[in-house]
Chain A
């Protein structure tokens, strides 16, 4: 007798779970976000290298920063300080899909120091990121005048809230 009731409860549980997963909010979340996430499990399994996982997670900006830093390393440039432009400046100059990060995040990604136009020690900046449609590139800061011009240009833009 009890066995049949337990089986009935099992059927009830299956129905309850099915009904739960039929609620639109949970249906979308479970079958979309959990079972078929934007980055498919197949892609994830094909990209197990930590660096590839970072690019997938941190998006194009990370890849571009790392490429730029790689170029500096090839040129054997020691301890560069990179002046980070505001996002609005890049956007107005036709850059798409590249985000600007804060100096601590930039340091985390690249291991190189970045400064904002308003940062203490901004005068030590030796390189900056400039638009190179549709992406960006690194450019050397040639002189103090060059740096002052860049800072004045960048300061016209509001720092982006993250």
Chain B
């Protein structure tokens, strides 16, 4: 393992992500800024091998390293323009009573990172697609390589986004033969950010327990070290919703809104069918504009920006990268359900999500009791509290979008099966469920009571 290469990449992720945050004029708490810089830096660097390939450069250790250096340098320009001497704020350490939760989470994170490093890629979708392409790109110096001379009739995985192929190329060249550690960068930064955010909404003891249920989701946890698209897709889809909320509720600067568009765009770049889900978010965006008393013209303009901004990432993925890197024509029409008049497929898939994937033994095996906990708390809120704050309402909207959207994708694309595509697509709903629970009326009441008991004199 090349530690120097890893260090170089970590710095590059951070600086490119930080530059992007500055470009959108984001003002975030230090831990959030650090975690989000690292997370955003992962997909950003994935563009480097693609750009090199488009410019017909040979993909080698040297060219990729220089490419990353130049790319990071360009993204750092906003940092340099508005350079201020960094203020090292005092880091807030967790309270004593958070330590039991933090210890278990730390252990799970360490195990995930170790497995990510130790095991070679295993998912069949990777070995017949992105990982295969990455391996032979490293050997042959080009993404259009001998893989395309092999019989590929049993797979279409080479048509998928070059997001993983590119990151695997980078990490194989600079870090270790199996690559993959970029997933740990994403997993660690997302988990730390999420915990920090959840404990900002609700008392840390309740936040710790909710996080424990979240991180111990057996199936998503497995995909924190098995490379595939869905974990990354989940991260950026959730972040998109959070920054939409942030723009509406906490910080009206448009930077938050545009950053949200960027994050939904990245989620679409990672899994292109996310564009369908993002389209379903447009009514929410319009509603939020309306609640902000925005002029009709502006509302229309920003909604178009929201949709076109995300669609641009789809275009870059399919019409630029896939079209140029895969010397086999992509026929999207052949993948679409030929019998669209039969809408029963949609309702069957929607029913199966609940009966087969969630409320079943299989569901408990894959997701533990997390989703049961969510529905229990939601039901209690509906019966007892009957009020939802903005974050809870936005998260609920996102969850409904995931359920309806995945059913629609199952109806539209017969290849999107229940047990693989829909099951892993459901990951997108999970952090939103967590954000809902952190803003649940009943849990917030409990949180207030614990806080009052913990600090009886509020002046202290």
Contact = CB atoms under 8 A, between A and B. Distances in A.
A157 interface: no
A5 B218 contact: no
Interface stretch (B50-58, B117-125, B281-289): B117-125
A13 B99 contact: yes
Nearest to A15: B100
B274 to A, nearest CB: 25
A108 B132 contact: yes
A102 B155 contact: yes
A103 B124 CA distance: 12
A120 B97 contact: no
A107 B132 contact: yes
Nearest to A105: B127
Interface string B208-224: 11001100101000000
A104 B98 contact: no
B119 A57 contact: yes
B455 A13 contact: no
B177 A50 contact: yes
B380 interface: no
B266 to A, nearest CB: 27
A105 B101 contact: no
With a 10 A CB-CB cut-off, give which of A21, A102, A108 has the most chain B CB atoms: A108
A78 interface: no
Nearest to A47: B118
Contact of B456 (A1, A6, A17, A119): A1
B460 interface: yes
B364 interface: yes
Contacts, number: 121
A20 to B, nearest CB: 6
Contacts of B213: 20
Contact of B151 (A34, A108, A120, A162): A120
Interface in A1-51: 1-2, 5-7, 9-10, 12-14, 16-17, 20-21, 23, 25-26, 29-30, 33-34, 44, 50
Contacts of B153: 116, 118-120
Given A57-B119, A115-B151, A108 B127 contact: yes
A29 B370 CA distance: 14
A120 B152 CA distance: 10
Contacts of A57: 119-120, 122
Nearest to B1: A48
Given A50-B177, A102-B155, A116-B151, A29 B216 contact: yes
Given A104-B154, A105-B128, A16 B104 contact: no
Given A10-B97, A58-B120, A108-B131, A20 B152 contact: no
B132 A13 contact: no
A20 B127 CA distance: 36
A92 to B, nearest CB: 22
A162 B147 contact: no
Given A16-B205, A119-B153, A6 B454 contact: yes
B230 interface: no
A6 B97 contact: yes
B141 interface: no
A144 interface: no
B361 to A, nearest CB: 10
Contacts of A115: 151
Interface string A96-131: 000000111101100001111011110000000000
Contacts of A114: 150-151
A54 interface: yes
A53 interface: yes
B153 to A, nearest CB: 6
B216 A26 contact: yes
User: Which of B108, B150, B450, B460 has the most CB atoms of chain A within a 10 A radius of its CB?
Assistant: B150
A26 B368 contact: yes
A1 B216 CA distance: 34
Contacts of B155: 102, 104
Contacts of A26: 216, 368
A90 to B, nearest CB: 18
A142 B74 CA distance: 60
B369 A25 contact: yes
Given A53-B118, A53-B120, A6 B152 contact: no
A113 B149 contact: yes
Nearest to A50: B177
Given A113-B149, A116-B153, 10 more contacts: A5-B453, A13-B100, A16-B209, A53-B120, A103-B152, A103-B154, A104-B151, A114-B150, A115-B151, A116-B154
Interface of B: 95-101, 104, 107-108, 111, 118-120, 122, 124, 127-129, 131-132, 135, 147, 149-155, 177-178, 205, 208-209, 212-213, 216, 218, 364-365, 368-369, 450, 453-456, 460
Interface of A: 1-2, 5-7, 9-10, 12-14, 16-17, 20-21, 23, 25-26, 29-30, 33-34, 44, 50, 53-54, 57-58, 102-105, 107-108, 113-116, 118-121, 162
The 6 closest A-B pairs by CB, nearest first: A9-B97, A119-B151, A104-B128, A10-B97, A103-B151, A17-B100
